[in-house]
C-alpha cells in the first residue's frame, strides 16, 4: 500500500499516539455541527436568542438520536444562534483551532447557507465570517483550508440554484459544492442542473449519498451529478458493479464512524466495513461529520475505529495518505502533504533508533 505505511513502529509509539501525531486531512465536517454547547450559549446570549434548553449540561444530555432526521431537528435548532458575521468567524475559528491541535493540516469544511438565509441572515455575512477565520487560521496556525457550500436537499433544486446564484460573487472563496441533509426521498438526480451549473463556474463537487439512502443514490451522484467525491457512501458494498466503478475511477468515500453509530446507520464499529472497502480497492477516509453532536473530532473517530477493528499503524498511515489524496488540493499541494507524511515517519524512525 505504499512506502508511507509502517508496521514496525507500534512497539515504539502506541497506535493511539500515532493517530494523535500523524499529519492528516479532514474532508467531511459541517461547521454548524462543530458548534459546541458552551459556544452556542455564549453566542445565543450575545444575540438575544432563547434556547430550548436551560444549560450546557441539559443540552448535551439531549444528544441522543434515532436517525438522521431526528438529529437534524436538534442541529438546526442549534444553528439558530448564528446570526452575524462574528458568529460564523467564531465557530469556524474554534473548529480550526481544535483541528490543528489534532494535527489536521488540511480542513475542507461544509457550511449550509440555506440554514441561515431562511432566517434572514445575508449570505455575505455567512461566507465572510467563515472566510476571515480561514485566512487567520492559515496565517497563524499553518493549516490549509477550503470551504464547501452544502445544499439542503429537502428544500429542492430550485432553492439550491438560487443559493448558488447568491454565492457566485464570493466564488473565489468557495472551493466546492455538496449535497446534504435529508437523504431519503431526495435523490441526487433532482439536482443535476444545479451541479452542472456549479461545475461550469469552476466549483469542485461532492454529495452525501448512501448513508441512509440506497446504493443507487451513490451511482446517481457519480453518473448524474458527476461528483468527484462521495460523502458517507456506506451502502456501496451492496452493489458490486458500483464498487468496481468507484475503485476504477478512484472516487473517494468520506466515512464518518461515530456519526454512523450515533445515527444508527451501523449497529457498531466492530462490523464497520472500512477494511473490506480498502481491500476492494476503494479510497476511504475517516472524518468527524458533526463532532459537537456525535462525541468526537477526527482523532476520536480514528481511535474508535482502530480500537474496534484492531487496525495497526500501517492502516492509520494508509488512511492519512488517503485523506490527502482525496482532498481538493492541487497536485503540488498533495505532494507537499505527502512529503510531510514522509517526514513524520522518518522522525518516528529516528526516534526508534535513538
Give the sign of the dihedral formed by CA 216, CA 220, CA 226, CA 229: negative
Give the H or E element holding residue 286: strand 284-286
- pLDDT per residue over 207-250, tens digit each? 999 999 999 999 999 999 999 999 999 999 999 999 999 999 99
Distances (CA, A) of 202 to 215, 278, 300, 353: 28, 30, 34, 48
Residues 1 and 313: beta-carbon distance below 8 Å: no
Q: Which band of pLDDT confidence, cut at 50, 70 and 90, is reported for residue 12?
A: very low
Structural domain contains residue 124: yes
Residues 148 and 206: beta-carbon distance below 8 Å: yes
| pTM listed for this prediction | 0.94
- pLDDT per residue over 273-290, tens digit each? 999 999 999 999 999 999
Structural domain contains residue 67: yes
Q: Return the C-alpha cell found at 342.
A: 514522509
The residues annotated as belonging to the active site are 211
Q: Which band of pLDDT confidence, cut at 50, 70 and 90, is reported for residue 312?
A: very high
Residue span of the structural domain in which 202 resides: 15-353
In 160-170, which positions are buried (b, 16+ CB within 10 angstroms) versus exposed (e)? bbebbebbeeb
Interstrand relation of 204-205 and 176-180 (parallel, antiparallel or unpaired): parallel
In 232-252, which positions are buried (b, 16+ CB within 10 angstroms) versus exposed (e)? bbbbbbebeebbebbeeeebb
Structural domain contains residue 7: no
Structural domain contains residue 10: no
Number of domains in the chain: 1
What's the pLDDT at 11? 43
Structural domain contains residue 78: yes
264: CATH: 3.20.20.140
Structural domain contains residue 37: yes
- pLDDT per residue over 23-46, tens digit each? 999 999 999 999 999 999 999 999
Q: Which band of pLDDT confidence, cut at 50, 70 and 90, is reported for residue 111?
A: very high
Structural domain contains residue 1: no
Percent of the chain with pLDDT over 70: 95
What's the pLDDT at 10? 47
Structural domain contains residue 320: yes
CA-wise closest residue to 232 among 206, 212, 253: 253
What's the pLDDT at 68? 81
Amino acid at each position: 500500500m505504499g512506502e508511507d505505511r509502517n508496521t514496525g513502529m507500534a512497539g515504539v509509539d502506541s497506535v493511539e499516539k500515532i493517530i494523535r501525531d500523524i499529519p492528516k486531512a479532514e474532508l467531511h465536517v459541517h461547521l454548524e455541527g462543530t458548534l459546541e454547547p458552551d459556544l452556542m450559549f455564549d453566542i445565543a446570549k450575545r444575540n438575544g436568542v432563547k434556547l430550548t434548553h436551560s444549560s450546557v449540561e441539559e443540552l448535551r444530555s439531549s444528544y441522543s438520536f434515532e436517525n438522521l432526521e431526528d438529529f437534524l431537528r436538534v442541529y438546526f435548532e442549534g444553528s439558530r444562534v448564528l446570526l452575524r458575521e462574528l458568529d460564523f468567524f467564531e465557530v469556524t475559528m474554534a473548529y480550526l483551532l481544535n483541528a490543528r491541535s489534532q494535527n489536521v493540516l488540511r480542513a475542507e469544511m461544509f457550511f449550509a447557507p440555506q440554514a441561515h438565509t431562511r432566517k434572514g441572515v445575508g449570505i455575505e455575512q455567512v461566507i465572510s465570517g467563515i472566510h476571515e477565520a480561514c485566512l487567520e487560521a492559515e496565517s497563524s496556525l499553518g493549516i490549509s483550508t477550503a470551504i464547501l457550500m452544502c445544499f439542503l436537499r429537502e428544500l429542492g433544486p430550485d432553492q439550491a440554484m438560487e443559493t448558488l446564484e447568491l454565492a457566485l460573487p464570493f466564488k473565489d472563496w468557495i472551493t466546492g459544492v455538496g449535497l446534504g441533509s435529508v437523504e431519503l426521498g431526495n435523490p441526487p438526480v433532482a439536482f443535476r442542473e444545479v451541479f452542472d451549473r456549479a461545475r461550469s463556474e469552476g466549483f469542485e463537487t461532492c454529495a452525501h449519498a448512501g448513508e441512509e439512502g440506497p446504493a443507487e443514490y451513490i451511482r446517481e451522484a457519480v453518473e448524474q451529478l458527476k461528483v468527484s467525491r462521495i460523502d458517507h457512501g456506506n451502502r456501496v458494498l451492496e452493489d458490486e458493479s458500483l464498487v468496481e466503478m468507484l475503485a476504477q475511477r478512484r472516487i473517494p468515500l468520506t466515512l464518518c464512524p461515530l456519526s454512523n453509530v450515533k445515527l444508527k446507520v451501523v449497529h457498531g464499529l466492530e462490523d464497520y466495513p472500512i477494511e473490506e472497502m480498502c481491500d476492494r480497492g476503494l479510497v476511504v477516509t475517516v472524518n468527524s461529520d458533526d463532532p459537537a453532536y456525535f462525541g468526537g473530532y477526527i482523532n476520536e473517530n480514528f481511535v474508535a475505529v482502530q480500537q474496534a477493528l484492531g487496525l495497526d499503524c500501517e492502516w492509520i498511515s494508509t488512511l492519512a495518505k488517503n485523506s490527502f489524496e482525496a482532498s481538493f488540493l492541487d497536485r503540488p499541494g498533495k505532494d507537499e502533504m505527502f512529503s510531510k507524511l514522509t517526514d513524520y515517519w522518518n522522525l518516528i524512525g529516528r526516534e526508534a533508533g535513538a
